[in-house]
Structure 1
Amino acid sequence: MMLETILDALFPDGHDVRLDGKTITGEAATPLGTVAVLGTADAAAMDHAIALGLSAFILETVARHPGRPFVYLVDTSGQALSRSEELLCLNGSLAHLAECVDLARRRGHPSLSLVTANAVSGGFLSYGLMADRVFALKDVQVRVMDLRAMSRVTRIEHEKLVELAGHSPIFAPGAENYLRMGAIEAVWDEPSASRLVDALTSLQRGVAAGDHRMKLGCGRGGRMLAEPVALSVQAAGGGV
Protein backbone atom coordinates (compact mmCIF):
# COMPACT_ATOMS: atom_id res chain seq x y z
CA MET A 1 0.00 0.00 0.00
CA MET A 2 1.31 3.43 -0.96
CA LEU A 3 2.40 5.73 1.88
CA GLU A 4 0.14 8.55 0.68
CA THR A 5 -2.86 6.20 0.76
CA ILE A 6 -2.02 5.20 4.32
CA LEU A 7 -1.56 8.80 5.46
CA ASP A 8 -4.84 9.94 3.87
CA ALA A 9 -6.71 7.07 5.54
CA LEU A 10 -5.19 7.72 8.96
CA PHE A 11 -5.43 11.51 8.86
CA PRO A 12 -8.46 12.64 6.83
CA ASP A 13 -8.42 16.00 8.67
CA GLY A 14 -5.12 16.79 6.97
CA HIS A 15 -1.41 16.22 7.39
CA ASP A 16 1.92 17.81 6.57
CA VAL A 17 4.10 14.71 6.37
CA ARG A 18 7.23 14.65 4.23
CA LEU A 19 9.15 11.74 2.75
CA ASP A 20 12.87 12.50 2.49
CA GLY A 21 14.45 9.49 0.84
CA LYS A 22 12.93 6.77 3.01
CA THR A 23 12.51 8.85 6.18
CA ILE A 24 9.05 10.06 7.21
CA THR A 25 8.63 13.19 9.37
CA GLY A 26 5.86 15.70 9.88
CA GLU A 27 2.64 16.33 11.74
CA ALA A 28 -1.03 15.53 11.28
CA ALA A 29 -4.38 16.71 12.54
CA THR A 30 -6.69 14.41 14.51
CA PRO A 31 -9.88 15.04 16.52
CA LEU A 32 -7.65 14.81 19.61
CA GLY A 33 -5.21 17.45 18.37
CA THR A 34 -1.98 17.48 16.41
CA VAL A 35 0.27 14.42 16.46
CA ALA A 36 3.89 14.03 15.37
CA VAL A 37 4.32 11.49 12.58
CA LEU A 38 7.62 9.83 11.79
CA GLY A 39 9.08 6.57 10.59
CA THR A 40 10.39 4.78 7.54
CA ALA A 41 9.03 3.73 4.14
CA ASP A 42 9.84 1.42 1.23
CA ALA A 43 11.43 -1.29 3.40
CA ALA A 44 14.15 1.13 4.49
CA ALA A 45 17.43 -0.29 5.74
CA MET A 46 18.08 1.70 8.90
CA ASP A 47 21.42 3.51 8.56
CA HIS A 48 23.08 6.35 10.45
CA ALA A 49 21.32 9.06 8.43
CA ILE A 50 17.84 7.63 9.05
CA ALA A 51 18.45 6.89 12.74
CA LEU A 52 19.92 10.31 13.47
CA GLY A 53 17.25 12.07 11.41
CA LEU A 54 14.44 10.41 13.36
CA SER A 55 16.26 11.12 16.63
CA ALA A 56 16.57 14.82 15.79
CA PHE A 57 12.88 15.03 14.94
CA ILE A 58 11.91 13.42 18.25
CA LEU A 59 14.14 15.77 20.25
CA GLU A 60 12.80 18.81 18.38
CA THR A 61 9.22 17.73 19.05
CA VAL A 62 9.92 17.15 22.75
CA ALA A 63 11.50 20.61 23.00
CA ARG A 64 8.84 22.52 21.04
CA HIS A 65 5.61 20.60 21.67
CA PRO A 66 5.43 19.18 25.22
CA GLY A 67 3.17 16.15 25.49
CA ARG A 68 2.43 15.86 21.76
CA PRO A 69 1.67 12.21 20.86
CA PHE A 70 3.94 10.35 18.46
CA VAL A 71 2.71 8.07 15.68
CA TYR A 72 5.48 5.87 14.28
CA LEU A 73 4.95 4.36 10.83
CA VAL A 74 7.16 1.29 10.41
CA ASP A 75 8.36 -0.17 7.13
CA THR A 76 11.95 -1.32 7.53
CA SER A 77 14.01 -4.27 6.35
CA GLY A 78 16.26 -3.94 9.41
CA GLN A 79 19.58 -2.26 10.03
CA ALA A 80 21.78 -1.40 7.06
CA LEU A 81 24.11 -4.31 6.33
CA SER A 82 27.34 -2.70 5.22
CA ARG A 83 30.86 -2.71 6.59
CA SER A 84 31.06 1.08 6.53
CA GLU A 85 27.91 1.46 8.63
CA GLU A 86 29.21 -1.06 11.16
CA LEU A 87 32.66 0.57 11.34
CA LEU A 88 30.95 3.88 12.09
CA CYS A 89 29.13 2.14 14.97
CA LEU A 90 25.61 1.89 13.63
CA ASN A 91 24.66 0.21 16.90
CA GLY A 92 25.38 3.51 18.64
CA SER A 93 23.05 5.46 16.34
CA LEU A 94 20.29 2.89 16.78
CA ALA A 95 20.78 3.01 20.55
CA HIS A 96 20.60 6.81 20.43
CA LEU A 97 17.26 6.57 18.57
CA ALA A 98 15.90 4.16 21.19
CA GLU A 99 17.05 6.52 23.94
CA CYS A 100 15.23 9.42 22.26
CA VAL A 101 12.01 7.37 22.09
CA ASP A 102 12.44 6.58 25.79
CA LEU A 103 13.14 10.23 26.62
CA ALA A 104 9.91 11.26 24.89
CA ARG A 105 7.99 8.67 26.89
CA ARG A 106 9.49 9.88 30.19
CA ARG A 107 8.63 13.47 29.22
CA GLY A 108 4.96 12.54 28.88
CA HIS A 109 4.61 11.95 25.12
CA PRO A 110 2.30 8.99 24.40
CA SER A 111 3.36 6.93 21.40
CA LEU A 112 1.99 4.22 19.16
CA SER A 113 3.44 2.54 16.12
CA LEU A 114 1.77 1.02 13.09
CA VAL A 115 3.61 -1.58 11.01
CA THR A 116 2.61 -0.82 7.43
CA ALA A 117 4.66 -3.42 5.53
CA ASN A 118 7.93 -4.72 7.05
CA ALA A 119 9.22 -4.72 10.62
CA VAL A 120 12.54 -6.48 10.81
CA SER A 121 15.39 -6.71 13.30
CA GLY A 122 17.15 -3.58 14.61
CA GLY A 123 15.17 -1.30 12.34
CA PHE A 124 12.02 -2.31 14.23
CA LEU A 125 13.56 -2.65 17.69
CA SER A 126 15.10 0.81 17.71
CA TYR A 127 11.83 2.74 17.54
CA GLY A 128 8.70 0.85 16.40
CA LEU A 129 8.76 -1.79 19.10
CA MET A 130 9.71 0.90 21.63
CA ALA A 131 6.31 2.61 21.34
CA ASP A 132 3.79 2.40 24.18
CA ARG A 133 1.44 0.41 21.94
CA VAL A 134 2.18 -1.40 18.67
CA PHE A 135 -0.34 -2.14 15.91
CA ALA A 136 0.05 -3.75 12.50
CA LEU A 137 -1.81 -3.95 9.23
CA LYS A 138 -2.76 -7.43 8.09
CA ASP A 139 -0.34 -9.42 5.93
CA VAL A 140 2.72 -7.45 7.05
CA GLN A 141 6.11 -9.07 7.67
CA VAL A 142 7.27 -8.95 11.30
CA ARG A 143 10.38 -10.70 12.54
CA VAL A 144 13.37 -9.92 14.71
CA MET A 145 15.64 -12.55 13.25
CA ASP A 146 15.38 -14.95 10.34
CA LEU A 147 15.43 -18.57 11.49
CA ARG A 148 18.59 -19.32 9.51
CA ALA A 149 20.38 -16.38 11.14
CA MET A 150 19.03 -17.50 14.51
CA SER A 151 20.46 -20.94 13.84
CA ARG A 152 23.91 -19.50 13.18
CA VAL A 153 23.83 -17.44 16.37
CA THR A 154 22.34 -20.05 18.73
CA ARG A 155 24.01 -23.12 17.14
CA ILE A 156 20.59 -24.80 17.10
CA GLU A 157 19.90 -26.72 13.92
CA HIS A 158 17.69 -24.83 11.48
CA GLU A 159 15.34 -27.83 11.20
CA LYS A 160 14.86 -27.80 14.97
CA LEU A 161 14.01 -24.09 14.95
CA VAL A 162 11.49 -24.65 12.16
CA GLU A 163 9.93 -27.38 14.30
CA LEU A 164 9.81 -25.10 17.34
CA ALA A 165 8.33 -22.27 15.28
CA GLY A 166 5.49 -24.60 14.33
CA HIS A 167 4.06 -24.53 17.86
CA SER A 168 5.76 -21.63 19.64
CA PRO A 169 5.21 -18.00 18.52
CA ILE A 170 8.48 -17.00 20.20
CA PHE A 171 10.42 -18.58 17.34
CA ALA A 172 8.02 -17.77 14.52
CA PRO A 173 7.78 -14.64 12.34
CA GLY A 174 4.53 -12.91 11.42
CA ALA A 175 2.19 -10.33 12.92
CA GLU A 176 -0.16 -12.98 14.32
CA ASN A 177 2.65 -14.55 16.34
CA TYR A 178 3.68 -11.17 17.74
CA LEU A 179 0.02 -10.58 18.54
CA ARG A 180 -0.03 -13.82 20.56
CA MET A 181 3.11 -12.76 22.42
CA GLY A 182 1.54 -9.42 23.34
CA ALA A 183 4.12 -7.37 21.45
CA ILE A 184 1.42 -6.24 19.00
CA GLU A 185 -1.77 -4.90 20.53
CA ALA A 186 -4.02 -5.57 17.53
CA VAL A 187 -3.94 -6.22 13.79
CA TRP A 188 -5.96 -3.81 11.61
CA ASP A 189 -7.53 -4.90 8.33
CA GLU A 190 -6.69 -1.50 6.84
CA PRO A 191 -5.40 1.91 7.93
CA SER A 192 -8.26 3.58 9.77
CA ALA A 193 -8.68 7.07 11.23
CA SER A 194 -11.29 5.86 13.72
CA ARG A 195 -9.06 3.05 14.97
CA LEU A 196 -6.17 5.46 15.30
CA VAL A 197 -8.26 7.90 17.34
CA ASP A 198 -9.57 5.05 19.52
CA ALA A 199 -6.01 3.84 20.10
CA LEU A 200 -4.75 7.32 20.95
CA THR A 201 -7.68 7.91 23.30
CA SER A 202 -7.10 4.61 25.08
CA LEU A 203 -3.38 5.29 25.20
CA GLN A 204 -3.76 8.75 26.71
CA ARG A 205 -6.02 7.32 29.40
CA GLY A 206 -4.04 4.20 30.11
CA VAL A 207 -0.37 5.01 29.53
CA ALA A 208 0.12 5.73 33.23
CA ALA A 209 -0.80 2.11 33.94
CA GLY A 210 2.46 1.06 32.33
CA ASP A 211 3.45 -1.67 29.89
CA HIS A 212 0.96 -4.56 29.80
CA ARG A 213 2.60 -6.66 27.10
CA MET A 214 3.61 -9.44 29.46
CA LYS A 215 0.01 -9.77 30.67
CA LEU A 216 -1.29 -9.80 27.10
CA GLY A 217 1.24 -12.43 26.08
CA CYS A 218 0.29 -14.66 28.98
CA GLY A 219 -3.46 -14.23 28.39
CA ARG A 220 -3.10 -15.00 24.68
CA GLY A 221 -1.00 -18.10 25.29
CA GLY A 222 2.06 -16.81 23.49
CA ARG A 223 4.41 -15.86 26.35
CA MET A 224 3.53 -17.95 29.36
CA LEU A 225 6.52 -17.39 31.65
CA ALA A 226 7.44 -13.70 31.34
CA GLU A 227 4.70 -12.33 33.63
CA PRO A 228 4.90 -14.96 36.41
CA VAL A 229 8.70 -14.75 36.50
CA ALA A 230 8.60 -10.94 36.64
CA LEU A 231 5.99 -11.03 39.41
CA SER A 232 8.10 -13.53 41.37
CA VAL A 233 11.13 -11.26 41.10
CA GLN A 234 9.03 -8.28 42.15
CA ALA A 235 7.60 -10.17 45.14
CA ALA A 236 11.14 -11.07 46.18
CA GLY A 237 12.06 -7.37 46.23
CA GLY A 238 14.03 -7.35 42.99
CA GLY A 239 11.75 -5.05 40.98
CA VAL A 240 10.76 -5.65 37.37
Structure 2
Amino acid sequence: MTWQTLANQLFPGGHDIAEHDNFLSGSGQVDGQTVAVIGTTEHVPIGIEIALAQAQAILQTVQRHPGRPILILVDTQGQRLRHRDEMLGINSYMAHLGKCVDLARRRGHAVIGLVYDQALSGGFITSGLIASACYALPQATIRVMGLPAMARITKVPEERLTELARDNPVFAPGPENYLRMGGLHAIWADDLANRLAEALASADPADGRMALGQDRGGRLLAQPVAEAVRTGGHVRPA
Protein backbone atom coordinates (compact mmCIF):
# COMPACT_ATOMS: atom_id res chain seq x y z
CA MET A 1 0.00 0.00 0.00
CA THR A 2 1.35 3.44 -0.92
CA TRP A 3 1.45 6.14 1.72
CA GLN A 4 -1.08 8.17 -0.31
CA THR A 5 -3.62 5.34 -0.26
CA LEU A 6 -2.97 4.77 3.43
CA ALA A 7 -3.42 8.46 4.26
CA ASN A 8 -6.74 8.60 2.43
CA GLN A 9 -8.01 5.59 4.37
CA LEU A 10 -6.77 6.87 7.71
CA PHE A 11 -8.13 10.39 7.21
CA PRO A 12 -11.41 10.37 5.25
CA GLY A 13 -12.02 13.85 6.68
CA GLY A 14 -9.00 15.15 4.76
CA HIS A 15 -5.26 15.60 5.24
CA ASP A 16 -2.37 17.74 4.05
CA ILE A 17 0.43 15.17 4.36
CA ALA A 18 3.29 15.79 1.96
CA GLU A 19 6.44 13.86 1.05
CA HIS A 20 9.91 15.36 0.65
CA ASP A 21 12.91 13.12 0.08
CA ASN A 22 11.00 10.15 1.56
CA PHE A 23 10.08 12.10 4.71
CA LEU A 24 6.35 12.49 5.41
CA SER A 25 4.86 15.33 7.42
CA GLY A 26 1.56 17.10 7.79
CA SER A 27 -1.74 16.58 9.58
CA GLY A 28 -5.03 14.77 9.13
CA GLN A 29 -8.59 14.86 10.41
CA VAL A 30 -10.14 11.84 12.09
CA ASP A 31 -13.12 11.57 14.43
CA GLY A 32 -13.35 15.35 14.71
CA GLN A 33 -9.77 15.96 15.80
CA THR A 34 -6.52 16.98 14.14
CA VAL A 35 -3.62 14.51 14.20
CA ALA A 36 -0.02 15.48 13.47
CA VAL A 37 1.62 13.02 11.08
CA ILE A 38 5.28 12.24 10.50
CA GLY A 39 6.83 9.24 8.80
CA THR A 40 8.90 7.73 6.05
CA THR A 41 8.33 5.94 2.77
CA GLU A 42 10.08 3.89 0.06
CA HIS A 43 11.90 1.79 2.71
CA VAL A 44 14.22 4.76 3.25
CA PRO A 45 17.10 4.17 5.69
CA ILE A 46 17.13 6.56 8.63
CA GLY A 47 20.16 8.82 8.30
CA ILE A 48 20.94 11.93 10.27
CA GLU A 49 18.80 14.15 8.01
CA ILE A 50 15.55 12.19 8.42
CA ALA A 51 16.20 11.57 12.12
CA LEU A 52 16.53 15.33 12.65
CA ALA A 53 13.51 16.09 10.45
CA GLN A 54 11.31 13.71 12.45
CA ALA A 55 12.61 15.07 15.75
CA GLN A 56 11.99 18.65 14.61
CA ALA A 57 8.43 17.86 13.53
CA ILE A 58 7.68 16.29 16.91
CA LEU A 59 9.16 19.21 18.87
CA GLN A 60 7.24 21.71 16.74
CA THR A 61 4.01 19.85 17.48
CA VAL A 62 4.76 19.86 21.22
CA GLN A 63 5.54 23.59 21.11
CA ARG A 64 2.80 24.82 18.78
CA HIS A 65 -0.02 22.33 19.40
CA PRO A 66 0.04 21.11 23.02
CA GLY A 67 -1.71 17.78 23.44
CA ARG A 68 -2.23 17.15 19.71
CA PRO A 69 -2.02 13.40 18.90
CA ILE A 70 0.95 12.30 16.79
CA LEU A 71 0.89 9.46 14.25
CA ILE A 72 4.19 7.96 13.09
CA LEU A 73 3.95 6.12 9.75
CA VAL A 74 6.76 3.57 9.55
CA ASP A 75 8.40 2.29 6.38
CA THR A 76 12.16 1.96 6.77
CA GLN A 77 14.97 -0.51 6.22
CA GLY A 78 16.62 0.68 9.44
CA GLN A 79 19.45 3.07 10.16
CA ARG A 80 21.59 4.18 7.25
CA LEU A 81 24.84 2.21 7.15
CA ARG A 82 27.29 4.77 5.82
CA HIS A 83 30.70 5.77 7.07
CA ARG A 84 29.63 9.44 7.00
CA ASP A 85 26.63 8.84 9.25
CA GLU A 86 28.64 6.70 11.64
CA MET A 87 31.37 9.33 11.92
CA LEU A 88 28.78 12.05 12.55
CA GLY A 89 27.24 9.95 15.33
CA ILE A 90 24.05 8.47 13.87
CA ASN A 91 23.45 6.75 17.21
CA SER A 92 23.17 10.15 18.92
CA TYR A 93 20.76 11.47 16.28
CA MET A 94 18.52 8.44 16.67
CA ALA A 95 18.70 8.68 20.44
CA HIS A 96 17.63 12.33 20.11
CA LEU A 97 14.64 11.24 18.04
CA GLY A 98 13.67 8.68 20.67
CA LYS A 99 13.96 11.33 23.40
CA CYS A 100 11.68 13.66 21.43
CA VAL A 101 9.03 10.92 21.18
CA ASP A 102 9.38 10.32 24.92
CA LEU A 103 9.07 14.06 25.61
CA ALA A 104 5.86 14.24 23.58
CA ARG A 105 4.40 11.33 25.53
CA ARG A 106 5.36 12.96 28.85
CA ARG A 107 3.73 16.23 27.74
CA GLY A 108 0.41 14.48 27.18
CA HIS A 109 0.53 13.72 23.45
CA ALA A 110 -0.86 10.36 22.38
CA VAL A 111 1.84 9.00 20.05
CA ILE A 112 0.72 6.16 17.79
CA GLY A 113 3.05 4.16 15.55
CA LEU A 114 1.75 2.37 12.45
CA VAL A 115 3.94 0.03 10.40
CA TYR A 116 2.39 0.07 6.95
CA ASP A 117 5.20 -1.51 4.96
CA GLN A 118 8.65 -2.30 6.36
CA ALA A 119 10.17 -1.80 9.81
CA LEU A 120 13.70 -2.90 10.52
CA SER A 121 16.24 -2.43 13.33
CA GLY A 122 17.02 0.99 14.82
CA GLY A 123 14.80 2.89 12.41
CA PHE A 124 11.82 1.11 13.96
CA ILE A 125 13.01 1.09 17.56
CA THR A 126 13.36 4.88 17.80
CA SER A 127 10.07 5.66 16.08
CA GLY A 128 7.05 3.35 16.04
CA LEU A 129 8.27 0.96 18.71
CA ILE A 130 8.83 3.73 21.26
CA ALA A 131 5.39 5.30 20.69
CA SER A 132 2.60 5.09 23.25
CA ALA A 133 1.24 2.19 21.21
CA CYS A 134 2.29 0.58 17.94
CA TYR A 135 0.14 -1.11 15.32
CA ALA A 136 0.76 -2.72 11.93
CA LEU A 137 -1.01 -3.67 8.73
CA PRO A 138 -1.18 -7.42 7.96
CA GLN A 139 1.26 -7.20 5.04
CA ALA A 140 3.92 -5.33 7.04
CA THR A 141 7.45 -6.70 7.30
CA ILE A 142 8.87 -6.32 10.80
CA ARG A 143 12.16 -7.51 12.23
CA VAL A 144 15.00 -6.11 14.27
CA MET A 145 17.58 -8.41 12.75
CA GLY A 146 17.32 -11.01 9.99
CA LEU A 147 18.23 -14.59 10.86
CA PRO A 148 21.34 -14.63 8.59
CA ALA A 149 22.70 -11.52 10.32
CA MET A 150 21.74 -12.92 13.71
CA ALA A 151 23.64 -16.11 12.92
CA ARG A 152 26.76 -14.12 12.04
CA ILE A 153 26.60 -12.08 15.24
CA THR A 154 25.70 -14.85 17.69
CA LYS A 155 27.72 -17.64 15.95
CA VAL A 156 24.60 -19.82 16.22
CA PRO A 157 23.94 -21.73 12.97
CA GLU A 158 21.16 -20.22 10.89
CA GLU A 159 19.45 -23.63 10.72
CA ARG A 160 19.22 -23.67 14.52
CA LEU A 161 17.82 -20.14 14.63
CA THR A 162 15.25 -21.06 11.99
CA GLU A 163 14.21 -24.00 14.15
CA LEU A 164 13.92 -21.79 17.23
CA ALA A 165 11.88 -19.24 15.29
CA ARG A 166 9.12 -21.79 14.72
CA ASP A 167 8.16 -21.70 18.41
CA ASN A 168 9.79 -18.56 19.82
CA PRO A 169 8.58 -15.19 18.49
CA VAL A 170 11.77 -13.48 19.67
CA PHE A 171 13.63 -15.10 16.77
CA ALA A 172 10.89 -14.78 14.16
CA PRO A 173 9.96 -11.80 11.97
CA GLY A 174 6.46 -10.65 11.05
CA PRO A 175 3.65 -8.66 12.70
CA GLU A 176 2.06 -11.75 14.28
CA ASN A 177 5.20 -12.49 16.28
CA TYR A 178 5.58 -8.89 17.41
CA LEU A 179 1.94 -8.99 18.45
CA ARG A 180 2.68 -12.04 20.65
CA MET A 181 5.66 -10.27 22.23
CA GLY A 182 3.62 -7.17 23.02
CA GLY A 183 5.57 -4.94 20.63
CA LEU A 184 2.35 -4.40 18.67
CA HIS A 185 -0.94 -3.66 20.32
CA ALA A 186 -2.96 -4.96 17.36
CA ILE A 187 -2.93 -5.60 13.62
CA TRP A 188 -5.30 -3.39 11.62
CA ALA A 189 -6.96 -5.28 8.78
CA ASP A 190 -9.81 -2.93 7.85
CA ASP A 191 -11.62 0.37 8.58
CA LEU A 192 -8.34 2.15 9.30
CA ALA A 193 -9.92 5.48 10.26
CA ASN A 194 -12.01 3.82 12.96
CA ARG A 195 -9.00 1.81 14.16
CA LEU A 196 -6.97 5.01 14.47
CA ALA A 197 -9.76 6.77 16.36
CA GLU A 198 -9.98 3.84 18.78
CA ALA A 199 -6.21 3.79 19.26
CA LEU A 200 -6.14 7.49 20.05
CA ALA A 201 -9.00 7.15 22.52
CA SER A 202 -7.33 4.24 24.35
CA ALA A 203 -3.72 5.54 24.29
CA ASP A 204 -2.11 5.14 27.71
CA PRO A 205 1.01 7.05 28.78
CA ALA A 206 2.07 4.02 30.81
CA ASP A 207 4.07 1.42 28.88
CA GLY A 208 2.20 -1.88 29.03
CA ARG A 209 4.20 -3.83 26.43
CA MET A 210 5.86 -6.17 28.92
CA ALA A 211 2.49 -7.10 30.42
CA LEU A 212 1.04 -7.67 26.93
CA GLY A 213 3.93 -9.95 26.03
CA GLN A 214 3.44 -11.96 29.19
CA ASP A 215 -0.34 -12.26 28.73
CA ARG A 216 0.06 -13.36 25.11
CA GLY A 217 2.73 -15.93 25.91
CA GLY A 218 5.39 -14.43 23.68
CA ARG A 219 7.62 -12.69 26.23
CA LEU A 220 7.36 -14.42 29.56
CA LEU A 221 10.24 -13.04 31.63
CA ALA A 222 10.39 -9.30 30.89
CA GLN A 223 7.52 -8.35 33.23
CA PRO A 224 8.61 -10.62 36.14
CA VAL A 225 12.21 -9.40 35.89
CA ALA A 226 11.16 -5.74 35.82
CA GLU A 227 8.88 -6.31 38.80
CA ALA A 228 11.66 -8.08 40.71
CA VAL A 229 14.03 -5.18 40.04
CA ARG A 230 11.40 -2.68 41.16
CA THR A 231 10.54 -4.49 44.39
CA GLY A 232 13.88 -6.14 45.15
CA GLY A 233 12.21 -9.52 45.05
CA HIS A 234 12.85 -12.69 43.08
CA VAL A 235 11.77 -13.77 39.62
CA ARG A 236 9.10 -16.42 39.73
CA PRO A 237 9.35 -19.02 36.93
CA ALA A 238 6.62 -18.69 34.30
- TM-score tier, shorter chain, comes to over 0.9
| 2:54 is equivalent to residue 58 of structure 1 | no
State the alpha-carbon separation in 1 of the partners of residues 126 and 224 from structure 2.
Answer: 26
Equivalent residue number for residue 112 of structure 1: 112
State the alpha-carbon separation in 2 of the partners of residues 187 and 128 from structure 1.
Answer: 14
Equivalent residue number for residue 166 of structure 1: 166
SS in 2 for 1:16: coil
SS in 1 for 2:78: strand
Please report how far the alpha carbon of residue 4 of structure 1 lies from its aligned counterpart in structure 2 after TM superposition: 0.9
Equivalent residue number for residue 216 of structure 1: 212
Please report how far the alpha carbon of residue 234 of structure 1 lies from its aligned counterpart in structure 2 after TM superposition: 2.0
Give the ranges of 4+ consecutive aligned residues of structure 1 lying more than 6 Å apart after TM superposition.
none
| 2:74 is equivalent to residue 74 of structure 1 | yes
Equivalent residue number for residue 23 of structure 1: 23
Please report how far the alpha carbon of residue 157 of structure 1 lies from its aligned counterpart in structure 2 after TM superposition: 2.1
Equivalent residue number for residue 37 of structure 2: 37
Equivalent residue number for residue 140 of structure 1: 140
Gap runs ≥5 in structure 2: none
Please report how far the alpha carbon of residue 217 of structure 1 lies from its aligned counterpart in structure 2 after TM superposition: 0.7
| Residues 115 and 140, structure 1, Cα contact 8 Å, conserved in 2 | yes
Please report how far the alpha carbon of residue 235 of structure 1 lies from its aligned counterpart in structure 2 after TM superposition: 2.2
State the alpha-carbon separation in 2 of the partners of residues 190 and 93 from structure 1.
Answer: 35
Structure 1 window deviating more from structure 2 (121-130 vs 152-161): it is 152-161
Equivalent residue number for residue 183 of structure 2: 183
Q: Larger strand proportion, structure 1 or 2?
A: 1
Please report how far the alpha carbon of residue 81 of structure 1 lies from its aligned counterpart in structure 2 after TM superposition: 1.6
SS in 1 for 2:220: coil
Gap runs ≥5 in structure 1: none
| 2:98 is equivalent to residue 98 of structure 1 | yes
TM-score of the superposed pair, with normalisation by structure 2:
0.94
SS in 2 for 1:45: coil
SS in 2 for 1:73: strand
Structure 1 window deviating more from structure 2 (93-102 vs 152-161): it is 152-161
State the alpha-carbon separation in 1 of the partners of residues 59 and 4 from structure 2.
Answer: 25
Paired amino acid for 2:146? D
Instruction: Kindly report the root-mean-square deviation, in angstroms, between the aligned alpha carbons of the 2 structures.
Output: 1.4
State the alpha-carbon separation in 2 of the partners of residues 190 and 3 from structure 1.
Answer: 16
State the alpha-carbon separation in 2 of the partners of residues 142 and 3 from structure 1.
Answer: 17
TM-score of the superposed pair, with normalisation by structure 1:
0.94
SS in 2 for 1:56: helix
| Residues 74 and 119, structure 1, Cα contact 8 Å, conserved in 2 | yes
Equivalent residue number for residue 232 of structure 1: 228
Please report how far the alpha carbon of residue 191 of structure 1 lies from its aligned counterpart in structure 2 after TM superposition: 6.0
| Residues 142 and 174, structure 1, Cα contact 8 Å, conserved in 2 | yes
SS in 1 for 2:28: strand
